[in-house]
Homo-oligomer: A and B are copies of this chain.
Amino acid sequence: MKKSNEGPATRIGRPRITNQGEIQHAAMRLFNSRGFEDVTMDEIADAAGVSRRTLFRYFATKHDLVWGEFDGSLLTMRLLLEQYARELPLREALRKAVIDFNSVPDSELETHRQRMRMILGVPGLQAHSTLKYADWRKEIVDFLREQGVGSKSSWYPDLIGHLCLAASLSAYENWLECEGSDLCTLLDQAYSMLIIGLNEDLTAPTATQLKQSRTTSRAASTRQAARTRSKN
């Protein structure tokens, strides 16, 4: 399980000729210039200066070249959830953890946009991403179960996991569509909708309603937080 890349300073055996990052950058350059579908794995191997077989040892599938280090970052997600859960009611911990998890520094913003535009735009990638999302949801569901949400066999945590994914995806899609928009703001809005629920005629809640939902939740949080934690 240990990444053989970061072992002791001196490693035994033939040294690596490259690393995931190098290959991925080479691949993304090609993808961005000619489109995901129109680049073959042979071309990527060439561009990365590595044999086709070796390329497949670093990335099991072509899709993984785009998703990059997502799998590893799920641990961060878990830590964020547990951290916020110590100081906020669960609902708000969820919201803040997701927002934090999806925050990227300005310097990487354009890269992130390109990557996500590819993931949400290319059908093959969009399909494959479902499997990544499943891992992401699992972090949330496991976390909720540990926090005592739902009885042992209840599917309520799974439902929440799905709803969070839905809110996140929707925010992402809108972010990509609107050039100047801010992802964190959109995520925040989407999660507010989860909290309020869908009203009768499905009109969007007003800004004041959204703000209200957050402030009231904070006001009522003390007693409920205590009850929640005692279940653990």
Distance between A97 CB and nearest chain B CB, rounded to angstroms: 13
A163 within 8 A of B: yes
| Chain B residues near A79 (CB-CB < 8 A) | none
The digit string for A147-175, where 1 denotes a CB below 8 A from any CB of B, is: 10110001110111111011101100110
Interface size of A in residues (CB-CB distance below 8 Å): 53
Q: Closest CB of chain B to A206's CB: distance in Å?
A: 12
With a CB–CB cut-off of 8 A, which chain B residues contact A225?
201
Interface residues of A in 158-213 (CB under 8 A from B): 158-163, 165-167, 169-170, 173-174, 177, 190, 193-204
Q: A155-B174, A166-B166, A197-B197 are in contact. List 12 more A-B contacts (CB 8 A).
A: A91-B201, A126-B130, A130-B130, A149-B203, A159-B170, A160-B202, A161-B170, A162-B166, A163-B193, A197-B198, A201-B224, A203-B228
